[in-house]
Amino acid sequence: MAELKMQNTLVLLAVLAIGLGDGLGGKQAVARFAPQPCKNSFSPEQEIAEGRKAKAEVYKVMPVLPASSPVTQYVQRLGAKLAAQAPGFKWPYEFQVVNQDGINAFALPGGPIFVNLATIQAASTEAQLAGVMAHEISHVVQRHATCNATKAQNQGLWYGLGQVAAGIFLPGSAGQLAQTGIGAVAGLGFLRMSRDAEKQADLMGTDILYDANYDPRAMPQFFEVIQAKYGEGGAQLLSDHPNPGNRAGYVQDEIDTLAVKSNYVKTTPEFKTIHQQVSAMHAYTAQEVKSGAWKTKAPNQAAGQAPGQLPAAGGPGQSQAANQPVVFTPSGGWRALDTNDYTMSYPDNWQAVNGNGTNATVAPAGGVTEQGVIYGVVVESFAIQQGTSFADAVTQLVQQMTQQNPGLAQSGGVDDVLVNKLPAKSVELTGRSALMRNGQAMPEHDWLVAIQRSNSALTALIFIAPGEDARILRPTYEQMLRSFRGK
């Protein structure tokens, strides 16, 4: 399944309008929340040009994921969908992901928008992530950054730009970065928003979310996620985004003005796929960003090889990924994965990610790369449509898997098995691994076991390994399957 493993495998298993008038020459939009334009001495052309300069500086000091990243590509698709609903001037929006810890996002003048990896990890639905991005789009629409710079008068917009690099590397700045975000530490003080600007972005963002057909209630839901992480009063995206007060209250008031839709989008299979992938990724801490260590590691294309290009293994049980060995040989000890739907044992030198709900990825350290799962087990529980038999649901699942993953093919029949007295179907598949050797994708063996939990639900387990190592891991995978217990 190669580079589409995490991008597509779980797909199978799942899931402002503002009256600025013609504003700066853009489209006329349906009016809802309509703040007064702020005083601004920058032309749109100046704003776009200077925003691009600032973007180049951000790339120098922040671990921005490459354009080839499935995470970046997903965020760009989501951003384009939201930006299509943005009112006013048609800014050239761009969307990037910063591989950094801490729930945060920021928008540069003229359209560049950056979302922290930790923000994607923290969101539980696509609508929640879309709410954060709609908020940042709203800052661009309302030109808050250049309005801030205009208030600074003679200082000029980019008076702090030369401090971008210095700010990150100042002694002790790591803690400051974690507390204050990119704007203050990088010297881009104009990114620090007032409480009023934050409220405006919340309200306009709610309308953008609604117009893109997302459930607007996801906006206040994500405020709760942030508060749970940062504590009471922490419903803000770090201090570049000061809490304007009762955010959930006034956002709900805005939602109450909108006609209720019966087909809101809450999440999508693509989000579930990407969320599964980012849950297994390491987001760099402020200290790691400050040290610059990320510049020599994938996926930032500074390690001398493209992401996912893994050189030849040194022998059974060990491969090389992004200059770090992936030792997949189980230790012999076991630990329990306990989720809301099931329990299962797995090797105690492996890692289980996102196992507190219904889905999980269990893999050795380094077994999941940006390109997908190389070694490990993906588990997902999902509903069987009414009127569909278990056998037909499994057939549909296999068809979706082979359609969504080029090169993947069923290599045998569908066998009936029992997993701790539960009826199940076993299917063997072959495809292309994310593991590369001598410039070629290695063959991959995937073993799908779909377990019927009830007439309306099943849990699917996909056991993944490069072809030559699948035989080595098969006893481990069989033991994991034998340990599976539904709740």
- The confidence score (pLDDT) of residue 298 equals 55
Q: Any idea which residue has 């493993």 for tokens?
A: 5
CB 113 within 8 A of CB 119: no
pLDDT tens, per residue, the chain with 487 residues: 433 333 333 333 322 222 222 233 333 334 477 777 788 888 899 889 878 888 887 887 888 988 878 999 999 999 999 999 999 899 999 999 999 887 888 888 899 999 989 899 989 999 999 999 999 999 899 888 878 777 765 344 433 332 222 222 222 222 333 333 333 333 344 455 667 778 888 899 999 999 999 999 998 888 777 777 655 444 333 334 444 457 778 888 889 889 888 899 999 999 999 998 888 888 888 777 777 777 766 554 322 222 222 333 333 333 333 334 456 788 888 999 888 788 899 998 888 876 556 778 898 887 877 667 888 998 887 788 888 999 999 998 888 888 777 788 999 889 999 998 899 999 999 988 877 766 677 889 999 999 998 888 899 999 999 877 888 889 999 999 999 998 8
CB-CB neighbours of 156 under 10 Å = 11
Gap between the Cα atoms of 133 and 22, Å rounded: 23
Gap between the Cα atoms of 443 and 368, Å rounded: 16
- The confidence score (pLDDT) of residue 425 equals 95
CA 149 to the chain's CA centroid: 31
Instruction: Give the CA radius of gyration of the chain.
Output: 24
- The confidence score (pLDDT) of residue 357 equals 61
DSSP state for residue 34 in the 8-state scheme: -
- The confidence score (pLDDT) of residue 11 equals 30
- The confidence score (pLDDT) of residue 377 equals 92
Of 456, 396, 457, 468, which Cα lies nearest the Cα of 430? 468
- Residue-wise DSSP of 76-105: HHHHHHHHTT--BS----EEEEE-BSSS-E
Pairing of strands 409-419, 422-437: antiparallel
- The confidence score (pLDDT) of residue 322 equals 36
- Phi and psi at 445, nearest 5°, equal -115, 125
3-state secondary structure of 155: helix
Gap between the Cα atoms of 232 and 230, Å rounded: 7
Gap between the Cα atoms of 135 and 132, Å rounded: 5
CB 336 within 8 A of CB 343: yes
Gap between the Cα atoms of 480 and 40, Å rounded: 62
Domains of the chain by range and CATH?
2-273 (no CATH), 308-486 (3.40.1000.10)
**Tokens, residue 248:** 């959930």
Whole-number average pLDDT of the chain: 74
State the alpha helices, DSSP H only, in 407-466: none
Of 389, 388, 380, 363, which Cα lies nearest the Cα of 461? 380
- The confidence score (pLDDT) of residue 35 equals 72
Gap between the Cα atoms of 203 and 87, Å rounded: 13
- Bond from prior residue into 171 cis (ω within 30 degrees of 0): no
- The confidence score (pLDDT) of residue 196 equals 77
CB 99 within 8 A of CB 299: yes
Of 390, 388, 378, which Cα lies nearest the Cα of 353? 378
Which H or E element spans position 387?
none
C-alpha angle 285-288-293 in degrees, rounded to nearest 5: 145
pLDDT tens digits, 8-37: 333 333 222 222 222 333 333 344 777 777
pLDDT tens digits, 201-227: 889 999 999 999 999 999 888 877 777
- The confidence score (pLDDT) of residue 331 equals 80
- The confidence score (pLDDT) of residue 439 equals 66
- The confidence score (pLDDT) of residue 327 equals 60
- The confidence score (pLDDT) of residue 130 equals 96
Gap between the Cα atoms of 251 and 49, Å rounded: 33
CB 11 within 8 A of CB 126: no
Pairing of strands 112-116, 94-98: parallel
CB-CB neighbours of 228 under 10 Å = 12
**Tokens, residue 402:** 């082979």
Q: Any idea which residue has 């059974």 for tokens?
A: 316
| Beta-bridge mates of residue 483 | none
Gap between the Cα atoms of 325 and 320, Å rounded: 5
Of 239, 279, 270, 235, which Cα lies nearest the Cα of 118? 279
Gap between the Cα atoms of 52 and 11, Å rounded: 34
